Amino acid sequence: MMFDDSKVIVYGAYDNNKLVGTAQLYLSENYVEEIKQILSLDSNSVAELGGALVLEEYRNKGIMKELSKRLIEEAKNRSIEYIVITVHPENIASNKAFSYTGAKVKQTVNLGEYLRNIYLLDLTDNI
């Protein structure tokens, strides 16, 4: 599904020809069904912002913020109502970067074997 832009949108940040950062917007319900149940979110228009990473030597330059901002705009253009984001509570950099999006931590739960903060960004006011 990674190469099907009706299911996943992938953005990258480059320094010349070197990929230095990436983030994805998962549009398929397969990616968000469990999170929707946890949050009691009754909408068929939910995407997950994830797969975000920036090479260590490129961190603290706003790359994650910019990729997130662009993917949120993509979600708005596709009339997505909600974006969910999952981050390990101890991943300070990712928690900080995603808090800049306006998303709020709704719960901290185990997803499979991994503890995650679940963020929710409500886009319904912006559609």
Per-residue pLDDT tens over the stretch 104-127: 999 999 998 999 999 999 999 754
**Separation between Cα atoms, residue 10 and residue 124, nearest integer Å:** 23
Is there a domain that residue 48 lies in?
A: yes
Structural domains of the chain, count: 1
Is there a domain that residue 3 lies in?
A: no
Is there a domain that residue 2 lies in?
A: no
Q: Is the pLDDT of residue 43 over 80?
A: yes
Which CATH number do you get for residue 17? Answer: 3.40.630.30
What pLDDT is stored for residue 28 in this prediction?
79
Q: Is the pLDDT of residue 95 over 70?
A: yes
What pLDDT is stored for residue 4 in this prediction?
65
What pLDDT is stored for residue 54 in this prediction?
95
pLDDT tens for each residue of 62-78? 999 999 999 999 999 99
Which of 123, 98, 106 lies closest to 35 in space, CA to CA?
Answer: 106
Cβ 37 vs Cβ 44: under 8 Å:
no
Domain holding 21, by residue range, is 8-126
Low-confidence winner among 30-34, 54-58, 123-127 (lowest mean pLDDT):
123-127
Cβ 67 vs Cβ 98: under 8 Å:
no
Cβ 71 vs Cβ 105: under 8 Å:
no
Is there a domain that residue 1 lies in?
A: no
**Chain mean pLDDT for the chain:** 91
Is there a domain that residue 31 lies in?
A: yes
Is there a domain that residue 83 lies in?
A: yes
**Separation between Cα atoms, residue 110 and residue 56, nearest integer Å:** 27
Length of the chain: 127
